[in-house]
Amino acid sequence: MAEYKVKWFASEMQGAPSLGDTAEGALAALLKAVLVTGFGTLTINALAFDAAKGWAVATFTGGHAYLQDSVVQVEGVSPAAYNGEHRVMQVTATQVWFELDGGNPGAPGTGAAMTMKVAPLGWTITHESGDGKIFIVRPTNVSESGNVSWRIDNSAFTGWTGTYGSTHYLAKITMVEDVVDINTYTTIYDHRWPATQRYTAKTWDLIGDQQLFYWLPSIGNYSFQTVYCAGYIRTVRPGDRYHAVVCHYASTNAADQGIRWDNRDSIGPNNWGTPLTTFDQSGQRAIARPYHQLFGATSWWLKGIFGRFGNGLNIPNGPDNGFYFSTDPCMVLENGSHLRGYIPGLIVPYGDITSWHRKNFGDMPALPGKKVRFIRALYQTNAYNADPRSLIGFDITGPWR
């Protein structure tokens, strides 16, 4: 059966969780649904193989919101070939076509409870609080990753909310190791992610594989998407167990006087954003340990050309009417300018196209057989009186490693 190690998720998908405005626990519930359990389960009313298209087709008489190019999980069907994870190839208001790597199962699908849901990314929660607002998560295959897990605290802890002009809500994201239980562990690095989407559209994207994911929620009254990440890079060091990274919010203080979600232009600077996609910038991120594996998180940055993603060449390029981007992996340099490895899954456009925001494209000449999702997201921390967004490409086909 085909493996789908890379998946993408979006706020418009069937049954997608929402962060809401003021409630604690919403971010934890969203991340658990995407990383571990899946979401958006519907009963399939009819299932067959469409010989003309060469795909299976599921019918939902009440409609659905599954999206083309996503990965769904089918259960409860006979013949069993319909079950498992499959790529969505086409959708209408009431039908979903998905590929079957084994071809025609030979009979329509039957079952007392045939279901479809958006398939999870495949991570593992090792420890969780009784109310689900705090959990510790890691890649399922520890031998392929390392010693680091991520602790998400989306409870109403002291300081989770604060007011400076507007009220803001934060969750803790902490790189941890030596985990005994939900409250007993060794902290490697602690910071924050936004915990709600107050004052903004409830838009988000998450793209990842079984070892790293990018989290892009909108923030602030202009609904700009930010870029956070958590997981393991592709390391060049043999035996590396601490190539775990996190990209985070600009402050641990929910009442920080340099941030207002309700009005982009009320204070300057207004530090909504993240600089992940600007090259040679080490702000708002950490790697669990340096290459020598001794204690202490350290800084890192991406190396590329033209300064940042979505910049450098005209679109179209005059001589050939082309659109150029780099498919080579971005180098990850750690403190001291040591090449630690490469950050997977990112494609660097050399220009910015506003109309491509949150759109998928397939079989581009430089990437045959691949689907790419483009998102215009913030490339710097300060958003005051500006629109500092540019195009980022995400390989949503994989594999990334």
- What does the chain come to in residues? 401
Instruction: Provide block-wise average pLDDT over 10 residues at a time, the chain (401 residues).
Output: 93 98 98 99 98 98 98 98 98 98 95 98 98 98 96 98 97 99 98 99 98 99 99 98 99 98 97 98 98 97 97 96 94 98 98 98 93 99 98 98 95
Kindly state whether residue 235 falls inside one of the protein's structural domains.
yes
DSSP state of 32: H
Report the C-alpha gap between 117 and 70 in whole angstroms.
Answer: 11
CA 24 to chain centre: 20
Q: Are residues 97 and 246 in the same domain?
A: no
Residue 50: other Cβ atoms inside 10 A = 14
Q: Considering its fold, how many domains does the chain have in total?
A: 2
CATH number at residue 92: 2.40.30
Of the residues 118, 147, 181, which one is the last residue of a structural domain?
Answer: 118
Q: Are residues 146 and 294 in the same domain?
A: yes
Q: Are residues 135 and 106 in the same domain?
A: no
Residue 161's domain spans which residues? Answer: 122-395
Residue 186: other Cβ atoms inside 10 A = 12
Q: Are residues 219 and 300 in the same domain?
A: yes
Global pTM value: 0.97
Q: Are residues 168 and 140 in the same domain?
A: yes
CA distances from 73 to 31, 80, 84, 122, 130 (A): 18, 12, 5, 12, 27
Tell me what pLDDT residue 2 has: 84
Q: Are residues 307 and 269 in the same domain?
A: yes
Kindly state whether residue 2 falls inside one of the protein's structural domains.
no
Q: Are residues 199 and 242 in the same domain?
A: yes
**Residue for token pair 């009220």:** 167
Of the residues 118, 149, 164, which one is the last residue of a structural domain?
Answer: 118
Kindly state whether residue 33 falls inside one of the protein's structural domains.
no
Judging by DSSP bridges, how do beta strands 95-98 and 84-91 pair with one another? antiparallel
Q: Are residues 77 and 147 in the same domain?
A: no
Judging by DSSP bridges, how do beta strands 346-349 and 359-364 pair with one another? unpaired
DSSP β-bridge partners for residue 338? 334
Report the C-alpha gap between 145 and 229 in whole angstroms.
Answer: 15
DSSP β-bridge partners for residue 57? 48, 97
Kindly state whether residue 14 falls inside one of the protein's structural domains.
no
Kindly state whether residue 380 falls inside one of the protein's structural domains.
yes
- Quote the tokens at residue 220: 């602030």
Q: Are residues 265 and 386 in the same domain?
A: yes
Q: Are residues 260 and 375 in the same domain?
A: yes
Q: Are residues 138 and 281 in the same domain?
A: yes
Report the C-alpha gap between 397 and 401 in whole angstroms.
Answer: 12
Q: What is the maximal distance between C-alpha atoms in the chain?
A: 64
Of the residues 90, 118, 146, which one is the last residue of a structural domain?
Answer: 118
Sheet holding 338-343, edge to edge: 234-235, 338-343, 330-334, 300-303
343 burial class (0-12, 13-18, 19+ CB within 10 angstroms)? buried
